Amino acid sequence: MKKIGLKEIAAHVGVSTALVSYVLNGQAEEKQVGKEVAEKIRKAAEQLDYRPNQLAKSLKTRRSNTIGLIVADINYRFSSGITRAVEAEAKKRNYTVIFGSSNESSEKLQELINVLINHQVDGLIVVPVENSEPSILSLQRSDIPFVLIDRHFPNVLTSNVMLDNFKAAYDSTEHLIRQGHEKIAFVNYSAQLFNLQERTRGYLAALSDHGIKHHPGWSLEVRSTHTEADMRKAIPHLTAINKCDAIFFATDRLAIAGLKEIVQLKILVPEDISVFSFDESEAFELFSCPISHARQPLEKMGKIAVSILHDLINKPKVINQTYLETELVIAKSCRE
């Protein structure tokens, strides 16, 4: 059986071989190929069962058409959402994605970066972890294009796709205030990650701007390695001792741990206390009432990250920083 090449596809569609090459190499938009023509070329390649010779292609172009994606925790809902979004957008641009999880370990992150670079990926999309700033600085000194997503280090100038965590936490807290809550607790991880610190800052700023004096006992931090044990102490402290009328959890995992303890203590939501979560979880569906939360635009984050990385691969040294906003999803867990 004759191997199908670019010439055969070009003849089938009635266009030039160069045009076919642009489309199949993910350069259709860059080379201003019409959407209709590009779609015809992709369909023809599929119908004719076109299989590119990746080795020959990479030797010629010095590119592998692969990108590396490193998330912080494969079990986290955020990670699976970002992975799906990155893979879908990468496929449109003719990239294959090689995936890895650092499990919130800076050592594992560095190991994965080394492995992916040795596999000659064209670029990296990275969710950094705590204490991984040296790895990011090292990447910055290398020739490998990369984009940080979800988290970053404010003192390191890189391309990134981030949430405006301050505004998201501010808006979430303000929503609770407008519903009449005056003793709003905030539960966060005891971590130095900038995105989590920004959520704390947003919460405190909203209280201050609305003339609510913050009580130190309203803000609690739990350890990521002892979340359930710490939460068993936190919930009674907030509900019985400080008698807060709402709890804002800084992540969906914290919200799940907190809701488990709330159920154990037979505290009613929202009758006894309102609950708000930063981000959503499928586990919320198991609770007695829908949980209000700030929804992250995962699909948009993944799509933009791939787009920025594609530009960096073709035009190195161009810094692109994008900040996105969350959407407040209001449900029955917050009383009015």
Domain that holds residue 76: 62-163+298-325
- pLDDT on residue 225: 92
- The answer to whether 203 touches 144, Cβ cutoff 8 Å, is no
Query: Do 291 and 203 share a structural domain?
Result: yes
CATH number for 10: 1.10.260
* Better-predicted residue by pLDDT, 78 or 121: 121
Q: In Å, what is the CA distance from 112 to each residue of 58, 91, 105, 119, 135?
A: 22, 22, 11, 11, 11
Query: Do 206 and 151 share a structural domain?
Result: no
85-109 confidence digits (pLDDT tens): 999 999 999 999 999 999 999 999 9
- The answer to whether 22 touches 31, Cβ cutoff 8 Å, is yes
- pLDDT on residue 59: 41
- pLDDT on residue 231: 97
- pLDDT on residue 46: 81
Q: Which of 120, 123, 195 is nearest to 159 (CA)?
A: 123
Residue 336 in any domain: the answer is no
Residue 285's pLDDT band (cuts 50, 70, 90): confident
- pLDDT on residue 55: 45
Average pLDDT, the chain: 91
Q: State whether the Cα torsion 234-237-239-244 is positive or negative.
A: negative
Structurally, the chain folds into a number of domains equal to 3
In 10 A of CB 3, how many CB atoms? 9
Percent of the chain whose pLDDT exceeds 90: 68
Residue 29 in any domain: the answer is yes
Residue 333 in any domain: the answer is no
Query: Length of the chain in residues, anyone?
Result: 336
27-76 confidence digits (pLDDT tens): 777 778 888 888 888 888 888 877 765 544 544 456 789 999 999 988 88
Query: Do 177 and 285 share a structural domain?
Result: yes
Query: Do 291 and 198 share a structural domain?
Result: yes
pTM: predicted TM-score of the whole model, two decimal places: 0.80
Percent of the chain whose pLDDT exceeds 70: 96
- The answer to whether 152 touches 160, Cβ cutoff 8 Å, is yes
Residue 331 in any domain: the answer is no
Residue 276 predicted with pLDDT over 60: yes
Residue 330 in any domain: the answer is no
Query: Do 281 and 265 share a structural domain?
Result: yes
* Better-predicted residue by pLDDT, 170 or 7: 170
Query: Do 261 and 177 share a structural domain?
Result: yes
Query: Do 288 and 180 share a structural domain?
Result: yes
Residue 2's pLDDT band (cuts 50, 70, 90): low
- pLDDT on residue 78: 86
Query: Do 189 and 228 share a structural domain?
Result: yes
Query: Do 235 and 90 share a structural domain?
Result: no
Residue 334 in any domain: the answer is no
Dist. CA 72–CA 129, nearest whole Å: 6
CATH number for 229: 3.40.50.2300
Residue 335 in any domain: the answer is no
- C-alpha 81, offset from chain centre: 8
Query: Do 185 and 83 share a structural domain?
Result: no
Token code pair at residue 246: 């709402």
Residue 105 in any domain: the answer is yes
- The answer to whether 117 touches 144, Cβ cutoff 8 Å, is yes
Query: Do 178 and 276 share a structural domain?
Result: yes
β-partners of residue 247 are 185, 275
- pLDDT on residue 62: 62
- pLDDT on residue 295: 95
Query: Do 186 and 149 share a structural domain?
Result: no
What is the 3 state secondary structure string of 241-268? Answer: HCCCCEEEECCHHHHHHHHHHHHHCCCC
156-189 confidence digits (pLDDT tens): 999 999 999 999 999 999 999 999 999 999 999 9
